[in-house]
Amino acid sequence: MKASVDDFARVVHVQSALRRIATCVARGAAPAEVLDAVATELGLLIGTDGAHIVRYDAEGSATVVAAWGTPDIGLPVGTTFSLDGDSVTAMVRKTARPARMDGYADALGPLAAHLRQHHVRGAVGAPIFVEGRLWGLVTATMTRDEPLARDSEMWLADCTELIATAIANAQARADLAASRARVVVAADQARRRIERDLHDGIQQQLIALAIELGDAQASIPSEQSELRQRLSTVKRGLTGVLDDLREMSRGIHPTILSDSGLRPALKGLARRSRVPVELHACVHHRFSEPVEVAGYYIVAEALANAAKHAHASHVRIEATVRNARLHLTVRDDGVGGADPSRGSGLIGLADRVDALGGSITIDSPPGRGTTLHAELPFELH
Ligand SMILES: Nc1ncnc2c1ncn2[C@@H]1O[C@H](COP(=O)(O)OP(=O)(O)O)[C@@H](O)[C@H]1O
Ligand SMILES: [Mg+2]
């Protein structure tokens, strides 16, 4: 009777732990956050004081990817250790089955020595298979002077499938984000190439033609005023084409962005905007190219929308850096009611921002203007 009550309690516990983890996975939390949640739930579930998720590396070593527990046993996320010697990690690697060590007193090897030093008295582990391959293991450790419960391995094993799903999902999401980032980068490279071809090729040729035309015009005798007039018209046309071309290549890839950075580029956008702009750009350093390009396109698109759709009379742009993230806010006082599903600009921005691991929100109540806010994580360049 006792056993079945315990079993039932265990099932309930496992179910609610799994539900919390599944919610975390479904929320699209970052892989590290999911694995941390798993380690925490498992530790609490088993009644132990440490839980780790460990990934096997290609060579005889393993790396901690999630860690939970007090006291700290000195194996934080990112620690890599060798599989030499006696450890649950090595045993699981060898047998691909759950394993247990009830004491480290006589255990050999560097990991065992480390655990002894941190007063670990026992450990259990269960393998994690991802897509049919032994990926790593989940371990529970105990520093208190009490044995790890007999069925600890079972508790661990109950959860490894969900951990595997979480890892596979996280991996798939990471792969997807990486592939979207690659698409964005490839498109940007193509744009830069086109911009360079336009600038170095067509634009230079047109400039040379304009100069030649100017010379020709100057050499025409004054009595041939009609010819002079016609050449003037041609020259004006040529200058117009050059202006259009410059404007176009700026839209393809703004040279000022790569030359001088985000702040001057935003100033340029503000200056050329059809709607009056109030710009607060407190960003003085250079970011990586994808971040600068994203920042530029976000503001460019928001300004274009403010002019094209919002009928705004004023736009406020704010660019600041907080917590290693570039924050951009563009607010117009127009008609509101922006809807990304009705166009392509805002969706394109979302793709670009997602690929960089950032976020974008659009608040656009009808009649009350539109606020676009984007956050981009960055490393200083
Ligand atoms: N600032 C804004 N104010 C009002 N409506 C907007 C604004 N921005 C976008 N919209 C509306 O949302 C739609 C989607 O915008 P967007 O994705 O930029 O597409 P588009 O390519 O048409 O500019 C637009 O067609 C427009 O109807
Ligand atoms: Mg648009």
Supply the DSSP string of 23-72, one letter for each residue.
HHHHTT--HHHHHHHHHHHHHHHHT-SEEEEEEE-SSSEEEEEEEEESS-
| Of residues 58, 59, 53, 16, the one with CA closest to residue 38 | 53
Sequence ranges of the domains in the chain = 2-177, 254-381
**Is the predicted pLDDT of residue 314 greater than 60, yes or no?**
yes
pTM beyond 0.85: no
Atom 22 (ligand 1) nearest CA: 343
The whole-number pLDDT of residue 4 equals 63
What is the residue type of 279? L
- Is there an atom of ligand 1 within 6 Å of 14 CB? no
pLDDT digits (tens, 9 = 90+) for 346-368: 988 988 898 888 999 999 999 99
What mean pLDDT value characterizes the chain? Answer: 88
With a 6 Å cutoff on the Cβ, whether 346 touches ligand 1 is yes
Cβ of residue 306 lying under 6 Å from some atom of ligand 1: yes
Of the listed ligands, the closest to the CA of 334 is 1
Above pLDDT 90, what percent of the chain? 53
Nearest-CA neighbor of 99 among 108, 90, 112, 111? 90
Cα separation, 213 vs 139, in Å, equals 79
pLDDT tens for 167-199 read: 887 778 778 878 878 888 888 888 888 888 888
266 contacts 319 by C-beta, under 8 angstroms: yes
**Cα separation, 210 vs 258, whole angstroms:** 28
Arithmetic mean of pLDDT, 288-302? 93
87: CB partners within 8 A, 6+ apart: 101, 107, 109, 111, 112, 115, 123
Radius of gyration of the chain (CA): 31
CA of 220 to the centre of ligand 1 (A): 52
Q: Which residues contact 232 (CB under 8 A, 6 or more apart)?
A: 217
Which residue minimizes the CA distance to atom 3 of ligand 1?
A: 310
Predicted pLDDT of residue 44: 82
Is the C-alpha dihedral spanning 239, 240, 245, 250 positive or negative?
A: positive
Residue 228 pLDDT exceeds 60: yes
User: Atom 9, ligand 1: which residue's CA is nearest?
Assistant: 338
Q: 254-381 sits in which CATH class?
A: alpha beta
Distances (CA, A) of 32 to 37, 58, 127: 9, 20, 19
Contact 135, 128 (CB under 8 A): yes
Closest atom of ligand 1 to CA, residue 306: 1
- Range 2-177: architecture per CATH: 2-Layer Sandwich (3.30)
Ligand 1 pocket mutation pick from 315, 317, 346 by most atoms within 8 angstroms of CB = 346
Which helix (H) or strand (E) segment holds residue 91: the answer is helix 88-95
Mean local confidence (pLDDT), 238-245: 90
Nearest CA to ligand 1 atom 10: 338
